[in-house]
């Protein structure tokens, strides 16, 4: 028997349904194959397609979004002062960023289309589609060009509905966007229809059955919500939607935070003293981090032992004497008391730090409970909201509880983390899966034997740290030079700065 309706409310079931190729998006009735109408639009966009057509049309949307850097969209949204309801403002900003003619008229027509996009027929909406095609399609456009126009319009309609809903939910408050998305998801339900018989979440789904996916309920009951769908149909406009939301709700973003939203990921070299930080800045690096290993080694103690709070603060004060953007590795915060961690963060900010990196790995080699680490993050953001908090999980670094990685990161995002960090993660599929789920930028540690910087960028990584690599390289080079002199060889001189050059770094 076909034509049944199944409702799925649990996180695991919704995830399984989204990943099942037998369940395809249900296209509303009334689609048309010809003519500029809402029906034609629904029959020609990635949102309601499956198989080869979906892949082809999704590629059109992805290429369109690739023309606009999220940071540019953030600036445009922040500067937007025009009037209008939220949906009009969202579409107007995006249409202008995409170079469309008459963004205001485009926005008004897209809003008219949105009312019928997910079902129903409306003459005014059909006429709006016609105007959009006339405005966006070149003269004498062929089938391929019309497909591209349809998917440009579909992109705007999705922004009109989902992104505008997120903007309205986030307006007037300061809750982290990850928590807003969990508690008030802009897409509350999804509909799928079975192209063939399948089994999902213990249910037998017959061909033709409709499956209703309750994302709102599933997200509330799970710490890692499906805020932007799930593989293989993760929303390609995630970064752009977040940029629009940040801008239109006037959520503050520091210069350091903006470095995580550029076209290329932030390559963050890690310094261990003032000279190394100044030398890196002189070479054009936009920001530097500190390496806890370098700080601990200089003090003659092991890294990660939680005993270098004063040395870390002293280094921050030295770095803060100039205009350098820097973030500080504070291990686990040097305390289990959230209030004490927040006080350290306040002192680091006063010293000039733009951010901190705080880890859930503990000195005994175990992982802190996610709730206790989240409490530290929340305390820091409450005390110093402008400080960029990069929340690190050591699930891969320590080789413990790796299956918890996504859940831990989601908890830290919802506590207010501005970015999340997974050192030791080199598996490409895992990186891609995380970037498809996260709301905040993902940071990974560069590994010489792992993915290249270009590969990490393509996977969606927004920050790449060098960790202790530079310190260990410098230490090795120093020992090699001393050994060469002792053994009667000339030490390698390539790239070694002169005495005068190093002396100038102290100015």
pLDDT > 60? residue 31: no
Mean pLDDT score, 354-361: 98
Give rounded-to-5 percent helix, strand, coil for the chain: 50, 10, 40
Looking at residues 312-317, what average pLDDT do you find?
A: 97
pTM for the full predicted model? 0.89
**Residue 29's pLDDT band (cuts 50, 70, 90):** low
Tell me the pLDDT band of 230, cut-offs 50, 70 and 90. confident
Query: What are the residues facing 329 on neighbouring strands?
Result: 357
Mean pLDDT confidence for 102-117:
95
pLDDT of amino acid 436: 85
User: Containing H/E element for 359?
Assistant: strand 355-359
The per-residue pLDDT for 33 is 47
pLDDT at residue 2 tops 60: no
Domain range list for the chain: 5-248, 266-473
Instruction: Work out the pLDDT band at 400, boundaries 50, 70, 90.
Output: very high
Highest mean pLDDT among 135-149, 212-226, 366-380: 366-380
- Say if residue 130's pLDDT is above 50: yes
- Mean pLDDT along residues 240-252: 91
CATH 1.10.630.10 fits 5-248, yes or no: yes
Instruction: Give dist(CA 160, CA 47) in Å, integer.
Output: 14
Q: How far apart are CA 226 and CA 246, in angstroms?
A: 20
The two beta strands, 198-200 and 203-205, are antiparallel
Average pLDDT along the chain: 92
Over 80: is that where the pLDDT of 140 sits?
A: yes
User: pLDDT tens digits, residue range 366-399?
Assistant: 999 999 999 999 999 999 999 999 999 999 999 9
Q: At residue 46, does pLDDT exceed 50?
A: yes
Kindly report the backbone phi and psi dihedral angles of residue 357, in degrees, each rounded to the nearest multiple of 5, phi listed first. -120, 120
User: What confidence category does residue 235 fall into, taking pLDDT thresholds of 50, 70 and 90?
Assistant: confident
Separation of alpha carbons 193 and 27, rounded Å: 9
Q: What is the average per-residue pLDDT within 355-367?
A: 96
Show the tokens assigned to 220: 């509330």
Residue 119, pLDDT > 90, answer no
CATH superfamily of 266-473: Phosphoenolpyruvate-binding domains (3.20.20.60)
pLDDT > 60? residue 1: no
Taken in order 24, 25, 27, 32, the sign of the CA dihedral is negative
Per-residue model confidence as pLDDT tens digits over 425-458: 999 999 999 998 899 999 999 999 999 999 999 9
The model's pLDDT over 153-209, given as tens digits with 9 standing for 90+, comes to 999 999 999 999 999 999 988 899 999 999 988 888 989 999 999 999 889 999 999
Q: Is the pLDDT of residue 277 over 80?
A: yes
The per-residue pLDDT for 32 is 52
Please give the share of the chain, as a percent, with pLDDT higher than 90: 77
Higher pLDDT, 422 or 34: 422
**Element of type H or E holding 484:** helix 469-486
Q: pLDDT category, 231, cuts 50, 70, 90?
A: confident
Exposure string for 303-325, b = 16+ CB within 10 A, e = fewer: bbebebbeebbebbbebbeeebb
């Amino acid at each position: 028997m076909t034509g049944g309706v199944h409702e799925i409310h649990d996180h695991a079931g919704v995830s399984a349904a989204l990943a099942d190729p037998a369940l395809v998006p249900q296209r509303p009735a009334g689609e048309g194959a010809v003519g500029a109408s809402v029906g034609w639009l629904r029959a020609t966009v990635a949102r309601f397609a499956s198989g080869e057509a979906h892949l082809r049309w999704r590629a059109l949307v992805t290429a369109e979004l690739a023309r606009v850097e999220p940071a540019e969209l953030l600036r445009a949204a922040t500067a937007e002062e025009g009037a209008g309801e939220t949906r009009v403002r969202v579409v107007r900003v995006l249409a202008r960023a995409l170079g469309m003619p008459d963004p205001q008229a485009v926005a008004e027509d897209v809003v008219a289309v949105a009312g019928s996009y997910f079902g129903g027929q409306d003459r005014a909406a059909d006429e709006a589609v016609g105007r959009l095609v006339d405005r966006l399609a070149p003269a004498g456009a062929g089938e391929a060009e019309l497909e591209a126009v349809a998917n440009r319009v579909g992109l705007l309609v999705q922004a009109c509905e989902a992104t505008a809903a997120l903007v309205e939910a986030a307006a007037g408050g300061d809750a982290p966007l990850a928590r807003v998305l969990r508690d008030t998801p802009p897409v509350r339900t999804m509909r799928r229809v079975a192209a063939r018989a399948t089994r999902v979440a213990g249910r037998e789904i017959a061909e033709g059955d409709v499956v209703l996916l309750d994302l709102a309920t599933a997200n509330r009951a799970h710490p890692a919500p499906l805020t932007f769908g799930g593989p293989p149909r993760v929303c390609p406009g995630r970064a752009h939607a977040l940029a629009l939301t940040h801008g239109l709700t006037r959520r503050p973003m520091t210069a350091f935070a903006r470095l995580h939203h550029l076209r290329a990921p932030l390559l963050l070299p890690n310094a261990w003293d003032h000279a190394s930080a100044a030398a890196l800045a002189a070479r054009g690096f936009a920001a530097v981090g500190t390496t806890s290993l370098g700080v601990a080694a200089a003090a003659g103690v092991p890294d990660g032992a939680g005993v270098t709070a004063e040395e870390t603060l002293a280094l921050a004060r030295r770095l803060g004497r100039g205009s350098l953007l820097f973030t500080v590795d504070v291990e686990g915060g040097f305390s289990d008391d959230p209030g004490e961690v927040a006080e350290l963060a306040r002192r680091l900010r006063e010293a000039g730090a733009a951010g901190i990196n705080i880890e859930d790995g503990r000195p005994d080699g175990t992982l802190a409970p996610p709730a206790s680490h989240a409490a530290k993050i929340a305390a820091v953001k409450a005390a110093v909201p402008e400080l960029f908090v990069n929340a690190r999980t050591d699930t891969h670094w320590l080789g413990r509880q790796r299956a918890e990685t996504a859940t831990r990161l989601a908890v830290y995002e919802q506590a207010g983390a501005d970015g999340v960090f997974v050192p030791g993660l080199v598996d490409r599929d895992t990186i891609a899966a995380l970037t498809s789920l996260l709301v905040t930028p993902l940071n990974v540690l560069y590994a010489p034997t792992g993915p290249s910087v270009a590969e990490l960028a393509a996977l969606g990584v927004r920050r790449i740290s060098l960790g202790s690599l530079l310190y260990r390289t410098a230490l090795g080079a120093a020992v090699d030079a001393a050994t060469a002199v002792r053994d009667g060889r000339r030490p390698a001189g390539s790239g070694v700065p002169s005495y005068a050059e190093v002396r100038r770094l102290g100015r």
